[in-house]
Structure 1
């Protein structure tokens, strides 16, 4: 029964860590009973093709932590008493669910005021690294140089005066060194001038949006959203009860015309429209700001991929042209650095920042201060800029490779987006269902992401998909697109055979 918990180990992670994790999963799932002896170290090492010492060390660690009990001459047993005391669970055979609902349990469904779990959301496979050609968006290739420099900064942050800056509960305050670096090193590249009272550090864009929705949203508030657009923004405003208005885009991003009439707030991605990747030109940004002033609506600008224009200079942000204070700027500090860090910021009118800071206190007080200080050091030492340059050069090469490969192997498809960002938006022939294509190419080791979820409304076109290229190695891009082209030709042949058979 244990075998199903020991699928191939992941590259880049320690064997002891993974073995411990999987043994605990088996214990919690009830795959092993307290009355049964754990597999011997010899047997388990042979099953997993790992050193016996590795198994012995993991068993010893689990025993030290209380999960297992050693028995002389018999081996290790699950310490059920410890688990009952510490985790308040009982172990049962795997044929029963660990979280069976007890008698007289409350009816949670009738008590919940929202149904977040029922919303359509982007789901990415956890095992995406197992695909040979992972065209997944929002992930990056491992950068050992960046990781090493981050470790150095974390070490420095844990020493002396730096440590004293974050060991205390800061309540509502942010790390002043990080705020200083955002003002001096990050925002000027986007043409933005700001004071400390205009900056709030958050744990990412979703967190920024959620707080804004809590503070500014209300049932019935008309929020304009690009269509197709950013799924999480749509769901966050929907949770508050806002009225969502889909807004048309074209090859230059959001269309500024009468469709904006009646909007009270608007969310947009001018630098690289999410998900199509097109860039809003400066003249249209000025038109949007003039429209916002004239019709008195707020604009939330998500500048999530601002530093990645491969063929020219970056356009100034929408916020840089704002002289009325109605643009709320969302920045990500770690999305293209180390996505798991989850740090971002809001730059906005100080009155709004003051209220957001007070609201944040009741959610999580402040982002972890040690990570804030580490990132501040990373920025101040120039490591962030060096990483951005290396990544920009790498993504530029990948963009050229994927553009050429799409033109060669999928000439019937159209890829949109400017020379920037880390993905391309692909429009297929109308008869294609991107979900069918996804399942077909997965058999060839290719991972793609169907694009219908990015559209508002029930009638969502099925003939778009997104290809992320931030996480795939350069050498694998052309063969991956070639495999995608083979799958498309196989689909066309199958359709032709079915059509002939129906004649």
Structure 2
């Protein structure tokens, strides 16, 4: 491998080569088993004598950092012996983020670990992903289509995909759109970012649901907005409590996150009228309502909008996989030029291969079939959870009615005694059960009490045992409360 070594300045060049290679091994830049350049090659690269490099290599070999293999070359023999360079630099860095970023707390990503009973929210079951179909679609594009895309593309996204989406959304969700109204994004979160960049100026008021989706609230805060949490009830967001000066209102009307409530038709009508009266824009997040288990869905706000005030956002993260990083937005024509420019300035466009494969999948009817099959599987899991919550937790917890999505919310039965969600979550985790507290998504204090039970990552047969362990954690929490 190529190794960058600096030898400028005065002094012993062999010593400088030795020290830089030693430091690279100690901080992990050069890893055990990696082959170093031959002494002749490194000497030519540095314009020094071969003897100079040989002296450095021999010293490193004598100290155990390198090992020479006859006829094979020189290899790194040691593991890192000191702090990694990135860790050492942390103490002497002078760069600081803008003030707003210092208040954003986001745990570092870690490799997912197996959990015995995983009720985490927001994750589809990877076992349901149509891997064979997807492999054939991607292979087909690799054989020919990708060769036509060796240039920068339309920031709005591949036209074939936007056309396929317009047809699918019109049939499946009653969304009124053409390909020109659609922009492809890297997941829903980028779609929210693009909308925020186009609409929000520092100091603007943005209303969000409470409880609600924290990454959206945090995103708008970083864009300089004054974010106002608005309570939700069993009919969705309280329109009567919206701030009159809100520039943007973020809602999840089809399956409120995290409670699962559906925004009633009266509330939808009231919200649209409020937006008209206050010259506001509504950001409609339809993140997982492709999965419906009962009732005919209410029309989305976008299809009820007659003034062009709704931006509709969807994602393939729940119906396919989050790893695809594929989402979309449907916006009024007045916003599309600015949104296209924002997308171009952010990352120009999504990759051609994923878009082209998804376009074929949607157009062929494969996506609709996949959603139907997945809905059947998730519906069985949801029914199992509702049934088992009633059987195992019925005296303490009840399920908030929900007819869509990949999770349900359970809240304490009135008069059932003390309930400490955080204690329950920690206790359950010690037993191999992953659940999340409703309070984690709540801004107002005291936080709403309850738990979220996702069913995208747990097999139906594991639900009873997982809920049995959760019931014990809830019982222990109640006994632990001061009397």
Question: Shorter-normalised TM-score: what interval?
Answer: 0.7 to 0.9
Q: 2:463 aligns with which of 464, 467, 477?
A: 477
TM-score (norm 2): 0.81
> Shift of the alpha carbon at 1:97?
3.9
SS in 2 for 1:424: strand
2:305 to 322, 330, 341: 322
Q: 2:141 is matched with which residue?
A: 157
Q: Which moved more, 1:204-213 or 1:138-147?
A: 138-147
Where do 1:217-236 residues align within 5 Å?
A: 217-236=200-219
Deviation at 1:318, TM superposition (A): 0.7
- Deviation of 1:328 (Å): 0.7
**If the length of structure 1 is used for normalisation, what is the TM-score?**
0.78
Structure 1 residue 137 displacement after superposition: 1.0
Match of 2:81 in 1: 93
Return the alpha-carbon distance in structure 2 between the equivalents of residues 213 and 132 of structure 1.
39
Deviations 1:461-497 (A, max 9, x none): 26322111111111101111111012222333344xx
Corresponding residue for residue 388 of structure 1? 371
- Equivalent pair of 2:418/2:478 in contact (CA under 8 Å): no
Given that residues 29 and 98 in structure 1 are in contact (C-alpha distance below 8 angstroms), is that contact kept between their aligned partners in structure 2?
A: yes
For 1:340-359, list aligned pairs within 5 A.
340-359=323-342
Give the structure 1 partner of residue 199 of structure 2. Answer: 216
Deviation at 1:143, TM superposition (A): 2.9
**Unaligned runs of at least 5 residues, structure 1:** 1-26, 38-67, 81-90
Q: How does 1:281-292 map to 2 (within 5 A)?
A: 281-292=264-275
Deviations 1:414-472 (A, max 9, x none): 32141211111222367322222112111221101122231125x34263221111111
Distance 1:463 1:76 in 2: 62
Name the SS for the 1:395 alignment partner.
helix
429-438 or 170-179, which deviates more: 429-438
Q: Which entry has the higher C-alpha Rg, 1 or 2? A: 2
Which residue of 1 is the match for residue 119 of structure 2? Answer: 135
Pairwise CA distance, 1:332:
1.0
Task: State the Cα distance separating 1:92 from its structure 2 match.
Answer: 4.4
Are the equivalent residues in 1 in contact too, given 2:185–2:191 (CA < 8 A)? yes
Task: Give the whole-Å Cα distance in 2 for the aligned partners of 1:262 and 1:494.
Answer: 45
Question: What is the SS of the residue equivalent to 1:93?
Answer: coil
Match of 2:262 among 270, 279, 288: 279
Equivalences for residues 184-199 of structure 1 within 5 A: 184-199=167-182
1:246-285 to 2 correspondences below 5 Å? 246-285=229-268
Q: Give the deviation of 1:330 after TM superposition.
A: 0.6
The reply to whether residue 450 of structure 1 matches residue 433 of structure 2 is no
Give a deviation string over 1:93-126, Cα, whole Å, max 9, x none: 14x24324459955112xx224536424588864
Q: Report deviation, 1:203.
A: 0.4
3-state secondary structure, aligned to 1:233:
helix
Of 89, 92, 95, which aligns to 1:108?
A: 95
Higher mean alpha-carbon deviation, 377-386 vs 252-261, is at: 252-261
Partner of 1:311: 294
Q: Structure 1 70/349 Cα, relative in aligned 2: closer, same or farther at 3 Å?
A: farther
Q: What does residue 276 of structure 2 align with?
A: 293
Q: Quote the residue 2:104 is aligned against.
A: 119
Q: Which residue of 2 aligns with 1:403?
A: 386
Q: CA deviation at 1:196?
A: 2.4
Cα distance in 1 for residues equivalent to 2:421 and 2:450: 6
Q: Judge conservation of contact 1:451–1:465 (CA < 8 Å) in 2.
A: yes
Listed as ranges, the gaps of 5+ residues in structure 2 are 1-24, 36-65
Q: Give the aligned length.
A: 425
What is the SS of the residue equivalent to 1:291? helix
Query: Which residue of 68, 76, 79 corresponds with 1:78?
Result: 76
Q: Say if 1:225 and 1:246, in contact at 8 Å, map to a contact too.
A: yes
Structure 2 Cα separation of the partners of residues 148 and 349 of structure 1? 37
Contact 2:213 2:258 (8 Å CA) reproduced: yes
Distance of 2:418 and 2:189 partners within structure 1: 34
